[in-house]
Chains A and B, each alone.
Chain A
C-alpha cells in the first residue's frame, strides 16, 4: 500500500496497479493489522477491483467482517469489496490460540522448571 501511495506521487500508479493485476496470486498478510490512510485504502480497492475474477487473492486477517469498515472507511465501498472478495472464495477459519504465544509460554514454563 505504501508503494501504491508513492507511485501515485510519481504518476506511475496506473502501471503499478496493472502490475499487481497481472500476478496469478496476490497475498495480503495481516490485513487490518497496520491501518491504511484513507488514500491507501482507496488504492487497495482499485487493485482488488482490477483483479476481481481474474486473479486470486489470499488474505490473512484477524478482522471480523463487521470490522472491515473501520479499516477501509467507506461502508458502501467496504460492502462492495467484501461481496466480491468472498464471492466463490474459500474461507479458512483459524480460531486456535496463537502458536507463537503458546511457544513462548511453553519455553517460559520450561525455564522456571529448570530453576526449581
Chain B
C-alpha cells in the first residue's frame, strides 16, 4: 500500500471511531507483509487490538466514574487476616453473576456497641414525626 492511501485509510478509520486500528494499521500491515500473514488474519489482529483497547478504556473510565476513595483489588486482599470468610462465596461473587441476576450482596461486620452515640441519627430521640409525602410515595413505589 502506498503512503497516500494509508493516510486516507487512517482518516476513514478515525471517522468510524476505530482509533486504535487507525493508529496501528500501518505497523500491522508491515508486519503482516513481512511474516506473510493473510488478509483475514491481518484484519482479525487489527480488530482484536481495537477491542482490547476499548475494554481497557472502559474499565479505566468506569473505575474513575465510580470515584472509589482507594483502589483495592481482590488480588491484594489479605485473606489470612479474614478468618471465617466464606472463600467459596467470594470466589463465586468475583465472577459478578450477581449483577446480571440483579441480586444484592450484604457484607456484615461486627456490630458496634448500641450505646455508642456516634452513629445514632440526630432525630431518633424526637418523639413525634411529622407525616410526610416521601414516605407514602416510597411505600407505593415498593
Q: Mark A30-48, 1 if CB is under 8 A from B, else 0.
A: 0011111111011101100
A93 interface residue (CB < 8 Å to B)? yes
- Tell me the total A-B contact number using a CB cutoff of 8 A: 146
| A57 & B104 in contact (Cβ 8 Å cutoff) | yes
Of the listed stretches B3-11, B26-34, B44-52, B128-136, chain A binds B128-136
Query: Of B85, B106, B135, which is in contact with the most chain A CB atoms at under 10 Å from its CB?
Result: B106
Please indicate the chain B residues that have their CB under 8 angstroms from the CB of A84 in the complex.
142
Set A43, A50, A62, A70: member contacting B121, Cβ < 8 A: A70
B residues near A52, Cβ cutoff 8 Å: 142
Q: Does B16 contact A (CB under 8 A)?
A: no
**A56, B141: Cβ atoms under 8 Å?**
no
Say how far A10's CB is from chain B's closest CB, in angstroms: 16
Known: A77-B135, A92-B90. A49 touches B142 (CB 8 A): yes
List B residues at the A interface (Cβ < 8 Å). Answer: 66, 78, 81-86, 89-90, 92-93, 98-99, 101-112, 114, 119-124, 129, 132, 134-135, 137-139, 141-142
Using a CB–CB cutoff of 8 Å, the interface residues on chain A facing chain B are: 24-25, 27, 32-39, 41-43, 45-46, 49-50, 52-64, 67, 70-71, 73-74, 77, 80, 84-97, 99, 102
